[in-house]
Amino acid sequence: MKCPFCGKENTRVIDSRPSDDDSSIRRRRQCDGCMKRFTTYENVEVLPVVVIKKDQTREPYDRVKLREGIFRSCIKRPVSMEQQDNILDKIENTIFERESKEIPTVEIGEMVLEQLRDLDAVAYIRFASVYRDFADMEGFKREIEHLQNKNKKK
């Protein structure tokens, strides 16, 4: 590592210890050229997940936002907060395990729908109408009929 004082490359680590919260390693270094000491920190790289919106713009994945979306769909429905949190956890596990750090919002929306479908039809339709904005009313109707048929079979 380059010395910040004289720019020489031959610096040595003279001390190395974890930071107070254990999230990084603090290293004391000394320059062999000017003998000055300086500190560096080594951190685990945490890559944020970025969502791709429909207009192709990107923004950081926002747990609170997704939480709200699910919550709004489940208002006055027999879906407990715990069930909603489970949905969120399942989806985040999938998102953060992916190789790619970019994920289209549509894909996240579909994951939520997949979970809501089995939980509550009304919450499902509410969420779908926001996230999937059905291009045509026919598609929307088909979706509702599909759900009604499914519920009849139960």
Cα distance between residue 150 and residue 68, in whole Å: 27
Q: Work out whether 3 is an interface residue with Zn ion (CB under 5 A).
A: yes
Which residue number, 8 or 63, has a Cβ lying nearer to Zn ion? 8
Q: Site map for Zn ion, 18-37, x if CB under 5 A?
A: -------------x-xx---
List alpha helices for the chain, DSSP H. 63-73, 81-97, 105-119, 121-131, 137-153
Given the structure tokens 């709004």, which residue do they identify? Answer: 72
Please work out the total of residues on this chain that contact Zn ion, with binding judged by CB under 5 A: 7
Q: Work out whether 131 is an interface residue with Zn ion (CB under 5 A).
A: no
Cα distance between residue 139 and residue 123, in whole Å: 17
Which residue number, 37 or 132, has a Cβ lying nearer to Zn ion? 37
Q: Work out whether 6 is an interface residue with Zn ion (CB under 5 A).
A: yes
Q: Which two tokens stand for residue 135?
A: 């291009």
Which residue number, 31 or 70, has a Cβ lying nearer to Zn ion? 31
